[in-house]
Amino acid sequence: MENCVFCKIAAGEIPSAKVYEDDEIVIFKDIEPKAKIHLLCVPRAHFATLAEADGERTALLARALAKIGRLAPDLGLAEGYRLVVNQGENAGQTVMHLHIHILGGEPLAWE
Ligand code: AMP
Ligand code: ZN
């Protein structure tokens, strides 16, 4: 989608520190990390929220979660990690292209 920063990163039109990519997803470093390791898993397909997840998008998200699980050790996350999906204003979603935050690399507070 035009003027979407994550579509542009996925297409390689603006730079990012990519750590993984395939035909469905890209994973790159968050520009403002909130943990020692803070990655973003972004589907190449543009949609903003889970409410827009139809059958194919739901299957895509399931595959993305499974891939994160398989890739975790290679991403420095063997000791554990947290996934976060901000949805809408109250959650502070700023990029309206669905993305999964991957946080880890250190013990994470949970309060
Ligand atoms: P959210 O608040 O869930 O919408 O998260 C958006 C995230 O994207 C924030 O953590 C930002 O730091 C991150 N972000 C925004 N622009 C970029 C960029 N060009 N490269 C990497 N991360 C970005
Ligand atoms: Zn997009």
Domain containing residue 54:
5-93+100-104
Q: Specify if 110 maps to a domain.
A: no
Give, as one character, the DSSP assignment of residue 16: -
pLDDT above 90 (res 2): no
Residue 25 domain-assigned (yes or no): yes
CATH number at residue 85: 3.30.428.10
How far, in Å, is the centroid of ligand 1 from the Cα of 56?
A: 25
Instruction: Give the largest Cα separation in the chain, rounded.
Output: 38
Query: Is residue 74 situated within a structural domain?
Result: yes
DSSP states along 39-104 = EEEEESS---SGGG--HHHHHHHHHHHHHHHHHGGGGT-TT-EEEE---SGGGT--SSS--EEEEE
As for how many domains the chain has, the answer is 1
Does the beta carbon of 49 lie inside 6 Å of ligand 1?
A: no
Question: Could you report the per-residue pLDDT of 70-89, keeping only the tens digit for each?
Answer: 999 999 999 999 999 999 99
